[in-house]
Amino acid sequence: MNPSLYIEKILTDTLGLDLASMGKGFMERTQEGLLKKSGCSSLEDYVTRLKLSPGEKEKIIEAVVVPETWFFRDRGPFDYLKFYLLDQGKQKTSKEKIRILSVPCSTGEEPYSIVMTLLEAGMSPKEFTVDAVDLSENALRIARGGKYGKGSFRGMTEEMRGSYFHQEDEDRKVRISEQVVSGVRFYRDNLLRPSSMPQMQTYHVIFCRNLLIYMHIKAKETAFSHIDRLLRPGGMLIAGHAEVLFWRQRGYLLVDHPRSFALRKPLGKEEGSCIPSPLPAPGRGEMHLRREAERGGSLGTVEKSQVLIAPQADFKKHDQEGGGMEFMIQARSLADRGKMEEALSVCRRYLEADQPCAEVYYLMGLIHESCDRDTEAEECYRKSLYLDPDHFETLIHAGLMYERRHDHEKAALLKNRLTRIERQRHDNGN
């Protein structure tokens, strides 16, 4: 097998990556990085080593999977978790412990945030169990160590930080309290294995955010089958913003709670089943989809063990000339650091210097929406769809925005357009 194809197969089989959507130059950058770290003079030599040493495969996974997350990232899901447990009285329905799963858990910030949410809600550690799963051994090592730098605290109040962390001056890192650490059980596993997580019981709540957006369809279905098996009927799934449509297509019911991106698994046949829809989940364009951030927050970097890539832009002419990619990297990088107005300024300068572009207006819409400026976001989404009526990411984000505003007529129009696009993709085998 061609050396490049051999490495591609590892990525598609182990991580389920849809390489067609990974962005221009992804494989070239990946291979160059692997060669540099290995010291091999050629890709052929590296693949020979790879075949002889099983441990080299793990290095490929660790090279591609890069943790990028922080405590209480996207505050909405954690606010909803507290609401779900307290206002709905879920913790009082029986003497059974509340069971919550975080997958993938990356370096631990999400499951630890879950534990802190439960403790702040007044629950005792004896009343809940939090399990956390990830494929990356390096990420799990950091998670179990419970020590974090300042970049992990972008979503946390000083009050909570003072309650659950203490400074360790020797390495300028902060250690999370033993009360929180002891509340999480970490496991290494891969949702794409046919027998993934066989030892796990079912859960009342599963956090599975931004895992599916890079996967090819077969990998998504495998991951879906495991998550659906592990979530109790009536249980809550916390998905990524871009993944809501995928789960709704498979029978899950959207929860009407702002910015939670929560869905409920149907109880039974009377609510419909969770059999996958004949339509595939969104494919190539999904990697552009980003969360709806809270005010002043960030957007653009996929949380969890994210794939280290530069976001791909559908610029056509611009991408061919090489300028579009650099622009998108700059604008998204600014937005991810919370510099929303600077990111918008970059977008406007790009539009002034070049022709109108659907992808640029889409990004501007995301930024405005993250700052609670729905009117401006709607105008940008409208311009994006004017330039490209089938711009998949704009259709999803605009549709979710209309649903949140209870503008069901506009939401239905966009949903119908999405369905048509998905059917066309399915018919074309994409």
Residue 101 and residue 428: Cα distance in Å, rounded?
36
Helix and strand counts by DSSP (H, E) for the chain: 18, 12
Residue 154 and residue 299: Cα distance in Å, rounded?
13
Q: How many CB atoms lie within 10 A of CB 244?
A: 21
Better-predicted residue by pLDDT, 10 or 299: 10
Residue 165 pLDDT = 93
Q: Is 213 buried (19+), middle (13-18) or exposed (0-12) by CB count in 10 A?
A: buried
Fold for 75-271, please state it. Answer: Rossmann fold (3.40.50)
- H/E element holding 57? helix 55-64
Backbone angles phi, psi at 209, to 5 degrees: -115, 130
Percent of the chain with pLDDT over 70: 80
CB of 385 closer than 8 Å to CB of 357? no
Q: Give the pLDDT band (50/70/90) at residue 107.
A: very high
Residue 253 and residue 249: Cα distance in Å, rounded?
9
Residue 66 pLDDT = 67
**Per 3-state DSSP, what percentage of the chain is helix, strand, and coil (rounded to 5)?**
55, 15, 35
- Beta strand 173-176 with 147-148 is antiparallel
Of 125-134, 140-149, 274-283, 380-389, least confident by mean pLDDT is 274-283
Residue 3 pLDDT = 87
Handedness of CA 239, 240, 241, 247 (dihedral sign): negative
- Beta strand 147-148 with 203-208 is unpaired
Residue 361 and residue 347: Cα distance in Å, rounded?
8
Better-predicted residue by pLDDT, 352 or 422: 352
Residue 124 pLDDT = 92
Please compute the mean of the pLDDT values over residues 310-326 and round it to a whole number.
41
Hey, do 75-271 and 313-428 end up sharing a CATH topology, with the first three levels equal? Answer: no
Is a pLDDT exceeding 70 seen at residue 292?
no
Please state, rounded to an integer, the average pLDDT across all residues of the chain.
79
Is a pLDDT exceeding 90 seen at residue 227?
yes
**Residue tagged 């009536």 (tokens):** 234
**Residue tagged 């090819």 (tokens):** 216
Apex 323 CA angle, 317 and 329, nearest 5: 120
Is a pLDDT exceeding 90 seen at residue 80?
yes
Is a pLDDT exceeding 90 seen at residue 260?
no
Is a pLDDT exceeding 70 seen at residue 92?
no
Residue 121 and residue 92: Cα distance in Å, rounded?
13
Better-predicted residue by pLDDT, 295 or 118: 118
Handedness of CA 78, 80, 83, 88 (dihedral sign): negative
What is the phi-psi region of residue 189: left when phi exceeds 0, alpha when psi lies from -120 to 50, beta otherwise?
Answer: beta
The arrangement of strands across the sheet holding 173-176 comes to 147-148, 173-176, 165-168
Of 4-18, 132-146, 209-223, 332-346, least confident by mean pLDDT is 332-346
Please compute the mean of the pLDDT values over residues 95-103 and round it to a whole number.
90
Q: Give the pLDDT band (50/70/90) at residue 427.
A: low
CATH classification of 313-428 is 1.25.40.10, yes or no? yes
| Residue 399 DSSP label | H
Is a pLDDT exceeding 90 seen at residue 374?
no
Please compute the mean of the pLDDT values over residues 148-175 and round it to a whole number.
84
Q: Give the pLDDT band (50/70/90) at residue 321.
A: very low
Q: Is-cis flag, bond preceding 258, omega within 30? A: no
- H/E element holding 374? helix 374-387
Of 199-203, 251-255, 321-325, least confident by mean pLDDT is 321-325
Q: Which amino acid belongs to residue 43?
A: L
Is a pLDDT exceeding 60 seen at residue 430?
no
Q: Whole-model pTM?
A: 0.67
Please compute the mean of the pLDDT values over residues 265-277 and round it to a whole number.
58
Residue 323 pLDDT = 47
CB of 259 closer than 8 Å to CB of 227? no
Please compute the mean of the pLDDT values over residues 111-140 and round it to a whole number.
94
Q: Give the pLDDT band (50/70/90) at residue 89.
A: low
For 149, the token pair is 């730098």
Residue 297 and residue 141: Cα distance in Å, rounded?
27
Is a pLDDT exceeding 60 seen at residue 200?
yes
Is a pLDDT exceeding 70 seen at residue 396?
yes
CB of 294 closer than 8 Å to CB of 74? yes
Please compute the mean of the pLDDT values over residues 82-95 and round it to a whole number.
67
Write down the domain spans for the chain.
Answer: 3-65, 75-271, 313-428
Of 95-104, 262-271, 283-292, 378-387, least confident by mean pLDDT is 283-292
Residue 326 pLDDT = 66
- H/E element holding 100? strand 98-102
Is a pLDDT exceeding 80 seen at residue 309?
no
Residues linked to residue 206 through DSSP beta bridges, in sequence order: 101, 237
Better-predicted residue by pLDDT, 150 or 147: 147
